[in-house]
């Protein structure tokens, strides 16, 4: 009986992972930390994972919320006239001046993880806080994904 339950749970989790869309139309970003966080948004054509488009680096202050109903306001190489799919965020550990490493989070069908944990750095490149960037996926290409820093 335990084996049957394990198999059913595994199948259910697999189905949930495959039910996700490769991209989203929009993105909501929340910073629930006491440190400024940094991110780039990455996208491609709708419902694709390629990575043709990338925003410039974006800083979100402590307690900040950024909402992008579609990609046209992201800047960088995203077109300003036709919305494109959003499927990932690159997370540097701090501002560009700190020459930091970083990670990525995004939609699972694109082969990305939904969690990146790191020590975030302040504007002076000193340690600020242990931080987690978590991606909550969109389940349809017309949906909104969420990126939350905690």
User: What tens digit of pLDDT does each residue of 105-114 get?
Assistant: 999 999 999 9
- Of 101 and 77, which is predicted with more confidence? 77
Mean pLDDT of 76-96: 97
| Cβ-based neighbour number of residue 114 at 10 Å | 16
Q: What percent of the chain has pLDDT over 70?
A: 87
Question: By three-state DSSP, how is residue 146 classified?
Answer: strand
Q: Confidence band (pLDDT; 50, 70, 90) for 146?
A: very high
User: Are residues 50 and 44 in contact, defined by beta-carbon separation less than 8 angstroms?
Assistant: yes
Identify the burial level of 33 via C-beta atoms within 10 angstroms of its C-beta, where 0-12 means exposed, 13-18 middle and 19 or more buried: buried
- pLDDT digits 0-9 by tens, 2-60: 554 344 344 434 344 445 789 999 999 999 999 999 999 999 999 999 899 999 999 99
How many C-alpha atoms does 62 have within 13 Å on its Cβ side?
Answer: 9
């Amino acid at each position: 009986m335990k084996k049957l339950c394990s198999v059913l749970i595994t199948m259910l989790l697999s189905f949930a992972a495959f039910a996700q869309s490769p991209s989203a139309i929009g993105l909501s970003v929340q910073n629930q930390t006491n440190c400024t966080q940094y991110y780039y948004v990455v996208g491609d054509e709708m419902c694709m994972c390629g990575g043709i488009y990338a925003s410039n680096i974006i800083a979100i202050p402590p307690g900040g919320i950024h909402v992008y109903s579609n990609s046209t306001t992201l800047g960088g190489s995203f077109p300003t006239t036709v919305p494109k799919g959003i499927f990932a965020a690159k997370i540097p550990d701090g501002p560009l001046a700190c020459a930091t490493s970083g990670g990525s989070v995004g939609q699972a069908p694109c082969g990305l993880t939904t969690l990146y944990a790191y020590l975030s750095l302040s504007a002076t490149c000193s340690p600020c806080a242990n931080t987690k960037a978590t991606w909550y996926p969109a389940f349809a290409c017309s949906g909104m994904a969420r990126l939350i820093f905690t």
